[in-house]
Structure 1
């Protein structure tokens, strides 16, 4: 008789516990939403996860990540409604139930957690794609590429596709960059590093210092110390500055200050250090009161943040934004980034950020 899988047994136990909690809330949620049956309720929310999440390509390793991606997808669907985001539209009505009723939000999170656990094997299985094996970073005229199995062919860098799956270091880690180095676009040349210290020096003094941001440089220093003090430094994910999400040749609307790619799931999370001086600039203050200046600066900042978040939602990349109050405490910021540099830690902040953005959705003006 085959031995039971203890991990699967634990998941089944969690599924049973979640089912009890869901059933305890069911009648109240039906009353609040005015659905006639549990089947209709589940169809409205539960069956939508395949529409809201790219489950064919997304690798999801925690329930929290699943919930975050669900609400990001739900928000994209709302934004796609345009002027039809009004009562009477099924998607918008479903949104109102979640926004207006804490019990519905509680039920939905439990339901999504159970959905994830029931589909764990399919949702968490790594499925590397060729396009995920090539990233480019930096400004247009100072960019570098990180590939998995780089080779220079016909005047361009590409991956040896047949070898990607056999790559020994963990993807997008310190070990990865020591193995491949950086490739120079359109030239048969690479920047290689003899050891960890050599890479960290280049990371801090060339890649990050070039941005001119004291906040980014502070975080870079903390990252270097984190790597040096880590018992397994080769397995630490790269803290990637200014990743070009569309590749080396695409004009970018935005580049995030830092990005971390989970070496197991290949999921990305971005970090934006956004002081008012960068995103709240005012063209002219002449003839304006201090109150008017503050209001205009705040509006400029909120506009820039909205554009930034919308851009990366389209790419399915969660971002965490740190503003002036946060930037006064670099240790706090890095302690949060550190969670994503230790992939085994549960990523709860993503879920919080996604829910916050979702609940702040506003219908467009007619």
Structure 2
């Protein structure tokens, strides 16, 4: 069964019902609108007045709407705010050249037209159901960069090259068919090489996994990081839905693609299903909190240097949390004696999906996967 076929049928049914209702009330609404505009009625122009300012009244890129009522409520708030700004500027008044918001305010005072407008917006909500209800990431995570030294890679939600720099196509972000920061995301957009004007594309997940192991992870100087990567690849090989698996990001760079950077996290999971951001630090004392030539130093000096190392480590963790909302799990010497257990800890964050806020879209998707899994 094609995943999402059931929800498409449901959404198509909702749209059909709403369109039918709009057609039924249109004759009355047409006359009410004409009495306000004093002009011949054009359905196309009327619909444009309602829908053309959606991106002005609401932030569809950043906002996740709970339901159609939430969408309409925020649309109304945006309309009122826009009108208030014009009133304060002295630019809002009567006349045909005052913009759609002038007429919308007049329409909404009429209960019949208001019913039509709200139904029209409800239909718009269902036509863009996934885009309206999906979790939206913090703007700092629209583009992320990872990798060691000069070998840096980028993962962008909707990459576009403008003026020689990679950025996001905001108009397309909310329409992305993949879940953010997953294997499917990488297959759809590719990875960004900051020195190239074309993304690095992969024909299938298996091609990417080979690249992950032979290119991305190969640059690591840490045997522990390589062991985690090997276990991650095995984990993916046993997945029934490989494209939906979160990408285990190695060496997530705090300051982006710049060669000189402040920090890197050994591994990071950005789970878009629950919007939980988690970093993992492999922190044996020998490399993270270590004082050299202790025989030549007083205890007071040793304690001071240990304090400085501790402060540096905590500042790094606090910085990631402050900028990206990333909390950090630390694997110490004792933890690293059991690498299988370390990866199981990471896998718990990779698998976390069922605790995501329940929406109709999520519930239908889970049902479809269930039907597919058991061939019902």
Higher RCO, 1 vs 2 (CA within 8 Å, ≥6 residues apart): 1
Q: Secondary structure at the match of 1:271?
A: strand
Q: CA RMSD in A?
A: 3.2
Q: State the shift of 1:159 in Å.
A: 1.9
Counterpart among 317, 324, 330 of residue 321 in structure 1: 330
Q: Does 1:306 align with 2:314?
A: yes
Q: Give the CA deviation at 1:295.
A: 6.6
CA drift of 1:129 comes to 5.1
Rg bigger for which structure?
2
Q: How does 1:39-50 map to 2 (within 5 A)?
A: none
* Secondary structure, aligned partner of 1:272: strand
Q: Distance in 1 between matches of 2:184 and 2:336?
A: 30
User: Structure 1 residues 346, 328: CA separation in 2 closer, same or farther (over 3 Å shift)?
Assistant: farther
Q: 1:275 aligns with which of 284, 301, 312?
A: 284
- Tell me whether 315-324 or 276-285 shows the greater mean CA deviation: 276-285
Q: What does residue 242 of structure 1 align with?
A: 251
Task: State the 1:185 CA deviation.
Answer: 1.0
Give the unaligned 5+ runs of structure 2.
1-61, 65-132, 357-376
Q: 3-state DSSP class of the match of 1:337?
A: helix
Query: Is 1:214 the equivalent of 2:223?
Result: yes
Confirm or deny that 1:187 pairs with 2:214.
no
Task: State the Cα distance separating 1:158 from its structure 2 match.
Answer: 1.9
Pairing 1:150-299 to 2, within 5 Å after superposition: 150-249=159-258, 251-287=260-296, 299=307
Q: Is the 8 A contact 2:291 2:306 kept in 1?
A: no
Q: Distance in 2 between matches of 1:346 and 1:333?
A: 22
CA contact (8 A) 2:148 2:219 kept: no
User: Match for residue 53 of structure 1?
Assistant: none
After superposition, residues 91-130 of structure 1 pair within 5 angstroms as: 126-128=135-137, 130=139
What TM-score do the two structures reach when normalised by structure 1?
0.55
Q: For each residue in 1:46-104, what CA deviation from the matched residue of structure 2 results, as whole angstroms up to 9, or x when unmatched?
A: xxxxxxxxxxx899xxxxxxxxxxxxxxxxxxxxxxxxxxxxxxxxxxxxxxxxxxxxx
Q: How many Å separate the matches in 2 of 1:127 and 1:297?
A: 42
Indicate how the Cα distance of structure 1 residues 169 and 58 shifts in structure 2: closer, same or farther if over 3 A, else same.
Answer: closer
Whether the aligned pair in 2 keeps the contact of 1:276 and 1:301 (CA below 8 Å) is no
Please state how far the C-alpha of 1:310 moved relative to its aligned partner: 2.7
Give TM-score scaled by structure 2 length: 0.54
